[in-house]
Structure 1
Amino acid sequence: MKSKKVILEKLIEEQTLLKKEYKVKTIGIFGSYARDEQAETSDVDVLVEFVGPIGFFKFIKLENYLSEKLGIKVDLVTPDALKPLIKSNIIQETVYA
């Protein structure tokens, strides 16, 4: 099982490519990994903000790319996709790379 530190280090390593290929502005983790409460079966929740629109297929490609690089299933979301009732809590708990 990977740690929050290992995941964040990998995201930092990938930042140049993420910015160039996917127009990533900010990226971080939230949920069980951000709170160090992950289980063996946990996926990693990744909050990503883009410089501009990237389209659905590129979004899915990024989610798959991150899953492959991290070796864990990634659940990729944008701030706009968060439900208003939980948005502020998630943004507050997000640990950015």
Structure 2
Amino acid sequence: MPEVARVVPLPHEVDPQPQRAEVTALLEGGLIRVRLPDGREWDAAWLQAGGSTSIELAAHDWVIVLPPAGGHPAVVMGRIGPSARPPRRHACASRRPRC
């Protein structure tokens, strides 16, 4: 059964500045523990968007995370890493049809 998306309002006093963090653990229940460069640790949810379901996080991955707000966990917005290799074009794909 698909999960239902929830809209989580951010309090106006929260500065939702994205930050770089390192994944330290994948927790039961689906949360992700991350450590910021200053040593703070947050438990974070994963932002599910588009093709993000195919991304598998592991300890020591670097991610972009929004801070926790309003009693809700932080949110990992994505993993930092190299770009995916573009799909190979078939040799015939670049040829134009002849008239």
TM-score normalized with structure 1 length: 0.22
More strand by proportion, 1 or 2? 2
Could you say which structure has the greater relative contact order, defined with CA pairs below 8 angstroms and 6 or more residues apart?
1
More helix by proportion, 1 or 2? 1
Quick check: which has more Rg, 1 or 2? 2
TM-score normalized with structure 2 length: 0.22
